[in-house]
Structure 1
Amino acid sequence: MHEVLEKRSRRKSANYAVVYDAIMKHIDQFSELYDCDIFTNSITEEFLDDFIIYLENQNLRHNTIVGYILKIQSMVRKASQYNYAVDSTYDEIDMRLEETNEVFLSMNEITRIYYYKFTKQDKRKAKERIRDLFVVGCLTALRYSDYSTLTKDNLQNGYIVKRTKKTNVDVKVPVHDYVKEIFAKYSGNIPSELCIQYFNKYLKIIMREIGLNDKITFSYTQGGKLVTVTSEKWELISSHTARRSAATNMYLTGRMKTLEIMKLTGHRTEQNFFRYIRLTGEDTARSISGDMFFRK
């Protein structure tokens, strides 16, 4: 298994190696715990069933386990292409991701954030910089690694033009009026290169100050048990909320085709796109209320 992983790692990103290293550590611990050697043809349906139970006993979340199993199956599938011996039952395990607690911000909320006046002098400029950068993310659908590295050179003829860091593709996003104003505010040099940990820490503080304190209840499975949690909205907001909000709000306009939005977000299938965006029943009702179906 380690040999297959090493072959794939040579062609993948650093993040790939980190994730698969974590998986291999669990496989090694499982092997030691049950005194068994794990080869490519050891990955059977029965092995994966036992391995899932082991991961649940490690108190991992369901979606983390699903991600691990899918990656192991991918690794074994690739091993078969390298002519390693595999057991075909590895593909019999079919797990589904749970709905996550990810939130999105409506356009009204984004406007509220954009126009909020920080009254306290303590770190007011720093808060404005983080807020403004976050709003740029909310209106471009870029990942943090991309919207946090924008410069005036990326603003071209009314578009944000950027080669994305993760997927290495060129995207061209129409510039929202708020984004134009932010570029002008900073003379083209919008806040950038902020450490993501620092950004997320103070983003929550800012969102709490603005008053995004709606109660949100969500459930998830951890360690094989259902956990239900209630949080205030500001607690669930992070740098990635911006991209998810942009994609969801673009869809809710009803004026953009799904495939057009997917060109900006990089989603390859509609199934993954609809899993990614966040729509409540109320959002859906509002978005379709003007459809001809509901008229005489």
Structure 2
Amino acid sequence: YPRGGIIKIDYEFILVFKKLGKDVKPPKEIKEKSKLSNEEWNEYFNGHWNFAGEKQNGHIAMFPLELPRRLIKMFSFYGDTVLDPFLGSGTTSKAALELGRNSVGYEINKEFVETIKSKIGIHNEPALFKKDFDHEVVFQKKNGKKEEKPHTFLNNNHLERLTDPKKFKFGTVVDTNGRNKREDYYSVRAILDSTTLLLSNNLKVRLIGVKRKAATERKAIEYLNNITKAKKVFMKFDDVKYDDNKNLLCYLYLENKTCINSHLVKTQLVDVDELNEYRYRNRFVKYSKEGVLR
């Protein structure tokens, strides 16, 4: 009869967040130990997973071991440390140990300590892993009774925005003609100096990887005027988005994908920034030595 049914298939969503910056490259032997088979790759990096659930034994929110096992194999290398801020029954730690990873977890309910120890094999499964492993349970000391504080309203209106998001055209990439245009195009309104430009949306940008050269400043501005006059430009960004003066940093391209930054370097009208790290640093240094454009 109606209302008495229970949904048998549960759906869970997995959110994947990527940290900006360059990854640390592991040694070749570590990469080989962490290698996924073709079958695993095709199955894991798929939009939907389907596997059996887990009996809620000892904890009210236990999930199947296959879930953390897949995620750990997908996004970590052998010997890495896996963090689980909601340790629960210890399923993630067990998967990490089985895959040769270290594990750190937090759990605010100390009643689950024995469940966690049992899950990772400290008590009743000493032969679960091929080699011994070290473990430590640390209890946080209490800081005393918390003071009851009244609710306070936090006004965030004083927070400063480095860039007005309305100046960007975050629109659809699909058009009616079947062409995918992912770049947002602008025109150059003014050349402020040889490294700083004002775009048609009143956004001031500074070119990544180049520094002003006093001897050729006027010629560099003339060059920028000539190369951008009546032309559309678009921006690409690096890991660092702003300089010390809060100017937006970018690689500026013409519509034909000519990189203005690199062309300025090749003409030797600007100096190369060799102090800061950016994606094309080595390439710009090479261009400055060659100086092929005039």
TM over 0.5: no
Going by fraction, where is helix more abundant, 1 or 2?
1
Q: Give TM-score, length-normalised by structure 1.
A: 0.26
Q: Give TM-score, length-normalised by structure 2.
A: 0.26
Q: Rg: which structure is higher? A: 2
